[in-house]
Amino acid sequence: MQNPFRFGSVVSGDDFADRRLELAELGRELRAGQHLFLLSPRRYGKTSLILTLLDRLHRQGLLVAYVDVFRTTTPVQLMELTAQTVLRAAESQPERLLRLATDLLGRLRPQVGTDSRGRPTLSIDVGASSRGALALQEDVLTLPEQLALKRRRRLVLVFDEFQEIQRFPGASLEKAMRSHFQTHRNVSYLFAGSKETALRDMATRERSPFYKFGRLMALGPIPAAEFAPYLEARFRRGRLRISREVLDAVLAAADDVPYNVQRLCHQLWALRAGRAERIAERDIGEAIAAIVEQDAPHFSAAWDRLSLHQRQVLQAIARGGGRNVFAATYLAAHRLGSHSSVQTSLRLLVKEQVLAKVQDEYRFTDPFLREWIAIRQG
Ligand SMILES: Nc1ncnc2c1ncn2[C@@H]1O[C@H](COP(=O)(O)OP(=O)(O)OP(=O)(O)O)[C@@H](O)[C@H]1O
Ligand SMILES: [Mg+2]
């Protein structure tokens, strides 16, 4: 029997535990033409939510396009990918796609091919000159509005991991995007990202090109009231029972982060399926130990890259929790030294996404790393 729990990649359809409120609100805003920034720590389920949302909006008659900025390493690649996804929102058939591309991006001489899955791809040869790259940028950044007008339908265009554009040299692309996008009346933009501070800064710093371009929305964990019945049904499908109390303990052990929850349930199922009738609370510890062992090489490598003080701060948080970390008693109890050194270490740990700041608490983005540290400390 197949393990009923999925983790690691995007979940869709039946595997997607329905975030009803989030889907409704995002859909309403985008249909109304509101631009959005969607922020959450890693592995909360942004990409799965976005793709599910786009699928719905598509069925409601909108044009939808999804660009993963992580996939690109240069502005030219990003523009090419944007052109391809935007045009594919309207045409999936190669000849028609080429006709549309020639119509809207004629001077760039676009070409159409097919990828390994048989879907049409678009390529544009800009040559080595910066004039070519600039023409590409100009034409691709006007494309979304042109397409929406031509098809008389609203286009929803998503840039996932949008903060990554800041790694491209210079700020000109970001500025150019803003100056074009702000004139678009028939396109709703959604910018998502898991580097929360970076994306928040892009949207809220006065000097940043995307200052106040859209509304900021923070994605939280899947509410237990929605997630628990989904998980319970999955266990049942896998011929195991689990009580709501034990499920709540599972959610707590995984800090409610959807990826971690699925991972822990996956392990629990693997441990007990065919050997027991129900999951007991004491099984959780065994499942976590197994996961920690699987991930130990990865944790060691990450540990190796940290400074001694960063390691000390992590040990403190694993032992003493992540609240009130600047209190004199906390600093003294964990021998952390000065307030400012703790501040520096925390800032870097958040930047590296080892920790996330959730309200007033510093939390491990991966609770299994916390366990690994706790086990090694004895
Ligand atoms: N709605 C959901 N229902 C069930 N599982 C989910 C849901 N959302 C997320 N997950 C779990 O979390 C994992 C990560 O989801 P996803 O890749 O969508 O998150 P993300 O926030 O985009 O992550 P990343 O920060 O790595 O880009 C999934 O593989 C799945 O195990
Ligand atoms: Mg993602």
Q: Which ligand is nearest to the CA of 42?
A: 1
Spatial CA neighbour of 362 closest among 334, 331, 322: 322
Q: Where on the phi/psi map is residue 273: left (φ > 0), alpha (ψ -120 to 50), or beta? A: beta
Quote the ligand 2 centre to 159 CA distance (angstroms): 11
pLDDT at res. 298: 96
Residue ID of nearest Cα to ligand 1 atom 11: 259
Q: How far apart are the first and last CA of the chain?
A: 37
Residue ID of nearest Cα to ligand 1 atom 19: 45
Residues at CB less than 6 angstroms from ligand 1 = 6-11, 16-17, 19, 40, 42-48, 194, 222, 258-259, 262
The H-assigned helical ranges of the chain are: 20-31, 46-59, 75-88, 94-105, 130-151, 172-181, 196-204, 224-237, 244-253, 258-272, 283-304, 308-320, 328-333, 339-351, 367-377
**Contact criterion met (CB below 8 Å) for 215 and 29:** yes
Spatial CA neighbour of 288 closest among 271, 276, 302, 305: 271
Quote the ligand 2 centre to 259 CA distance (angstroms): 11
**Within a 10 A sphere around the Cβ of 30, how many other Cβ atoms?**
24
pLDDT at res. 142: 98
Quote the ligand 2 centre to 121 CA distance (angstroms): 22
Read out DSSP for 218-244? E--PPPHHHHHHHHHHHHHHTT-B--H
Residue ID of nearest Cα to ligand 1 atom 13: 259
Residue ID of nearest Cα to ligand 1 atom 8: 45
pLDDT at res. 131: 84
The CATH class given to the 306-378 domain equals: mainly alpha
Kindly give the number of the ligand 1 atom that is closest to the alpha carbon of 259.
Answer: 12
Q: Where on the phi/psi map is residue 97: left (φ > 0), alpha (ψ -120 to 50), or beta? A: alpha
Q: Which residue has the tokens 């396009």?
A: 65
Best mutation site among 9, 11, 12, 14 for ligand 1, i.e. most ligand atoms within 8 A of its Cβ?
11
Residue ID of nearest Cα to ligand 1 atom 17: 10
pLDDT at res. 85: 97
Kindly give the number of the ligand 1 atom that is closest to the alpha carbon of 194.
Answer: 25
Quote the ligand 2 centre to 275 CA distance (angstroms): 35
Spatial CA neighbour of 254 closest among 277, 224, 274: 224
**Within a 10 A sphere around the Cβ of 304, how many other Cβ atoms?**
8
The β-bridge partners of 188 are: 156
Give the CA dihedral 274, 279, 284, 290, nearest 10 degrees.
0
Quote the ligand 1 centre to 8 CA distance (angstroms): 7
pLDDT at res. 195: 86
Q: pLDDT (tens digit, 0 to 9) for every residue of the chain, 378 residues total?
A: 899 999 999 999 999 998 999 999 999 999 999 999 999 988 999 999 999 999 999 999 999 999 999 999 999 999 999 999 999 999 999 999 999 999 999 889 999 999 898 889 999 988 877 888 899 999 999 999 999 999 999 999 999 999 999 999 877 899 999 999 999 999 999 999 998 889 999 999 999 999 999 999 999 999 999 999 999 999 999 999 999 999 999 999 998 999 999 999 999 999 999 999 999 999 999 999 999 999 999 999 999 999 999 999 999 999 999 999 999 999 999 999 999 999 999 999 998 989 988 889 999 989 999 999 998 877
Q: Which two tokens stand for residue 97?
A: 């796609």
- Paired sense of beta strands 120-123 and 215-218, if any: unpaired
Quote the ligand 2 centre to 45 CA distance (angstroms): 7
pLDDT at res. 318: 95
Best mutation site among 23, 259, 266 for ligand 1, i.e. most ligand atoms within 8 A of its Cβ?
259
**Contact criterion met (CB below 8 Å) for 355 and 346:** yes
Quote the ligand 1 centre to 356 CA distance (angstroms): 17
Which one of 3.40.1110.10, 3.40.50.300, 2.40.160.10, 3.40.462.40 gives the CATH number of domain 18-218? 3.40.50.300
